[in-house]
Every structure is written in structure tokens, then in C-alpha cells.
Structure 1
Amino acid sequence: MMARFLASPPTPAVGKRPNGKTEYRASGPIIFSDDRAEIHIIPTGWRSDGVSWPGWLLLGLLAIGAATVALWALGAAVWAWAPMGVAFELLALFWLARPRQRLLIAAFVHDWACQQTIAFPDKRDADRLFNEAMRALGVPLLYRVPIYGWVRLRGQRVQWQQPELSPIMAGGRVVGWE
């Protein structure tokens, strides 16, 4: 069976996190059926900071742009700076054209799954769900592969406070939210 969303309500911005990232809130339940036909319900009020883009990607983009301008300004031959200029333009287009809203909904699924440590004891399962959510939302492979790769490289499972929800406790620790 192919993964699909049964409900994906608006996720408006509601403020900033202490780290400066924008925080979004699900205005209704996000209902997702994965490739195994399992239904996952992200509750109304769930909060997410969206997709974590690798900072090095933006720094690399800026470095290529700066090097291109420097070579041009120093009078280097066109063959020396033109390929970098093309690479800069393509990467800038890649960065600016990313499907933000579709990625945001998939990030809600991933953030929720990462915090459900009983249902998803292995982070790889939460990451798999994220990849399936991106595919179900029609996120192009060009974006899915690097984003999924970045998520897989990062081993952290952040436990964010979910103000409108109640924590599920087990053994004195939060294992989920409802």
C-alpha cells in the first residue's frame, strides 16, 4: 500500500523557539497512513520547528557565491569562474524553490514519531515514516534524498515541550504526548 495523508490541516506559525527557529502548531489532527497501512494521528496542538536544513548547505552556497565573485573581481578567465557561477545559481534555485509547506507537514510526522519512544523505539522507524510522508506529499526526489540523508545522519531525538498536550510517562521519563 502507498503512504497517504488522510488529513493535513493548516500548521500556522505560533512563535519562536529558544534557538530562534519558528515554531508551528497543528490546527487539527494530522492523520497519516504509512506504507504498511498503519494509521498515525498527530494530535491537534502538536508543535514542530519544521525541517532542519543542514547549515553547511547554506554556508557552502555562500562560499561558492563569494568565490565566484572574487574570481570575477580579480579578473580571472571566464572558464575559471563561470562554472562556479552556474553551480551557485543552481544551488540558490534549489534552496529557494524547496517545497516548504509539504516539507513542514512531513516534519510534523517525524517530530511526533521521534517523541513516541514506545511506538518508535528505534529512530530509524521515525526516519522511515518521515521519508514516506515526504513521498506521499509529492516532495521531489531531488529534495527527499538529501533531507532524508541528513535526518539519518543526525541521531538525536529531541524532547520538546508540547504545551497543549499531556505527557505520557513511563519509568519517570516522558515517552510520548497525547
Structure 2
Amino acid sequence: MSEIAKCAAKRFRSERGYGFVTLPEGDDIFLHLSILRECGFEAPPQGATVEVEYRPSPKGLEAIRVLSIEGGTPEPEVPIPDHIVAARVKLFDFRRGFGFAIPFGYPGRDVFFSMDALDALPTAPAPGEAVVLVLEPGPRPRAARVLRWDQATHSGEALDVAS
């Protein structure tokens, strides 16, 4: 059973192919780029009002149709300048083998990391945990390595990675 609602565009990263809109009650709805394009739209700017038809899915709420997009102001993409950044873990899904962290000073700029980037950690990082990300070069931020905050600030190993 689907419902229709006017939502606020929360964040959308065209290069990743998906984003989120937020219901007035605060719940997020997953919005895939293919749904936008099927309905004749491109990525909505942050703050735009997006009218969507949505339904529950095994992973949460998902948009199945976009009816309209109004307003909003595109925000310029601020590149993350350093190849080593401090961040806070947003989420990590051990079963799926990946997670996201948000670099300090860059709200809304999620950085992807896979299980492979955790080779130096004895356990997976917890949401909210401060970490240091060693980023791969390229247009989209992706962590090649994730170090615990205390490990990066007190070990010589982290200094070797930086050079």
C-alpha cells in the first residue's frame, strides 16, 4: 500500500545515484535516481519540496514515484581537501560489509568505507565513534583505511600512512 506526501529534500548525491527526502514527521524516504528520471526529474536541490508516492520496503520507506519538485537552493559541493580526515561514524552494517562516516567540518558529506578498510581494527566501529579516514584519490570520497581515533593519534603507524 502506497501513500503520497510532500517532503523536504534532505540530501541527494547524483554521483551515488540516490538520496533521501524527509516526511513532515521526520522519517526519511529513500529516493533512487532512476525513479526521478522515470518521472522526468533530476536530483532535487536541498530544501526543495518533493511530492512523492512511497511505500514501505524491507530496508525502510522508499519512493516509487515523484509527482513534483518545487524550490530549494542548490548547494555548491565543497571538496574534502585532505587525504586524511577526522570523522564520526554514521553507520556500519556488518552484514552488508560497509558503512559511512561524516568528516568533521563537512556536514552532509558522507564518506563510504568497506569492510576491507577496517583491516587495522580489531572490531567494527560503532555509530558516533570518532575515527580517522585515509581517503583514496578520486572524485568521490572513499576511505581506503579506517583507524580508531586513539590509534591514529598515538601510533607511529598512522604517521607512516600520511606520508
Scaled to the shorter chain, the TM-score interval is under 0.3
Q: Select the structure that is richer in strand.
A: 2
Q: Select the structure that is richer in helix.
A: 1
TM-score, normalization: structure 1?
0.25
TM-score, normalization: structure 2?
0.27
Structure number with larger C-alpha Rg: 1
Q: Which has the higher contact order (CA 8 A, sep 6+)?
A: 1
